[in-house]
Amino acid sequence: MRVLIAPDSFGDTLTAVEACDAIARGWSAARPGDVLERAPQSDGGPGFVDVLAVAGGTVHRSDVAGPLGAPVEATWLLDGDTAYLESAQACGLHLLGGAPTPRTAVAATTHGVGTLIAAALAAGARRIVVGLGGSGTSDGGRGMIEALGGLCPASEALGDVALVAATDVENPLLGPDGAAAIFGPQKGADDAAIAILDERNARWAAEILEVTGRSVAESVGAGAAGGLGAALFALGATREAGAAIVARRTGRHEQITGADVVVTGEGRLDRQSLRGKLVTAVAAAARDGGAAVLAFAGAVELDDAELAGAGVDAAHAIVDFAGSLDVAMNDAAHQLEGLARSVAERWSARP
Provide the pLDDT confidence category of residue 276 given band limits of 50, 70 and 90.
low
Number of helical H runs and strand E runs in the chain: 16, 11
For residue 284, the model assigns a pLDDT of 86
Answer whether 64's CB lies under 8 Å from 74's CB. yes
- Give the tens place of pLDDT for each residue, 12-26: 789 898 999 999 999
For residue 272, the model assigns a pLDDT of 75
What integer is the mean pLDDT of 122-127?
98
Cα–Cα distances in Å, from 62 out to 72, 73, 93, 99, 112?
A: 8, 6, 19, 25, 10
Looking at per-residue pLDDT, the higher value among 231 and 308 belongs to 231
pTM: 0.85
Q: Which CATH class is domain 48-240?
A: alpha beta
Answer whether 300's CB lies under 8 Å from 316's CB. yes
CA 305 to chain CA mean position, Å = 25
What integer is the mean pLDDT of 121-132?
98
CA 78 to chain CA mean position, Å = 19
Residue 151 backbone class (left: φ over 0; alpha: ψ -120 to 50; beta: rest): alpha
List the chain domain ranges.
2-41+250-345, 48-240
CATH domain 2-41+250-345 topology: Rossmann fold (3.40.50)
SS (H, E, C) 325-347: HHHHHHCHHHHHHHHHHHHHHCC
Mean pLDDT over each residue of the chain, to the nearest integer: 93
Angle, in degrees to the nearest 10, between helices 242-250 and 278-288: 50
- Give the tens place of pLDDT for each residue, 158-205: 999 999 999 988 999 999 999 999 999 999 999 999 999 999 999 999
Expressed in percent and rounded to 5, the helix, strand and coil fractions of the chain are 45, 20, 35
CA 282 to chain CA mean position, Å = 14
The residue among 15, 18, 24 whose CA lies nearest residue 42 is 15
Provide the pLDDT confidence category of residue 316 given band limits of 50, 70 and 90.
very high
pLDDT value at 250 more than 90: no
Answer whether 249's CB lies under 8 Å from 42's CB. no
